[in-house]
Amino acid sequence: MIHIVTGGSGSGKSAFAEEQIVKFSGDRRIYIATMYPFDVESRRRVERHRRMRAGKRFETVECYTHLENLEIPAGADVLLECMSNLTANEMYREDGAGDQTCGAVCRGISALAERAGNLVVVTNEVFSDGIVYDPETERYLEYLGKINQYLAQIADCVTEVVYGIPVCIKGMRR
């Protein structure tokens, strides 16, 4: 089963996504981390997420670009966090896919979905602040928006987390 979890900054989407993955009883539980720790703040974020995952039996795999080349054990329960970082990495890193980002990310996700037993993907609501950005940032919004639409299409469930409260967008209402 594929579950997409979205939400704004500080909405509790990561905690919710972790809760979903630990409900599955697979042998292997893989966490795919996509944020490259480039400064103090991002290292602090990584640390915070590590603390949240502690004791939950996750094997952490780092993947900043080229998700489609990532090998995971067949049938594993996989939590991928998050699309906003992966998309930015593909667009802006030297080894990234550049203007082929949408294709690269979507291919990576479908490869992952095929191999994983269950897949939970965290993405990000970054589309509603009403600010008109520079063309480069607008392009980022466009790419992430397209990727999110693809994710929702192949997903069984889409949930928006609002201040820790799951709001069902697609799939089973709880």
* Residue whose CB is less far from another protein, 35 or 97: 35
Binding of residue 165 to another protein (CB under 8 A): yes
Q: Judged by CB under 8 A, does residue 113 bind another protein?
A: no
State how far the Cα of 79 lies from the Cα of 81, in Å rounded to an integer.
6
Q: Which residues are CB-neighbours of 125 under 8 A, at least 6 positions away?
A: 6, 7, 8, 11, 160
> CB-wise, 77 or 160, nearer to another protein?
160
In angstroms, what is the minimal distance from the CB of 2 to another protein?
23
Radius of gyration of the chain (CA): 15
For residue 129, state whether it binds another protein (rule: CB under 8 A): yes
Stretch that binds another protein, among 23-31, 70-78, 109-117, 162-170 (CB under 8 A): 162-170
Distance between CA atoms of 118 and 24, rounded to whole angstroms?
8
Our CB check for another protein shows the closer of 74 and 167 to be: 167
Sequence-distant (≥ 6) Cβ neighbours of residue 40 within 8 angstroms = none
Within residues 47-66, the interface with another protein by CB under 8 A covers: none
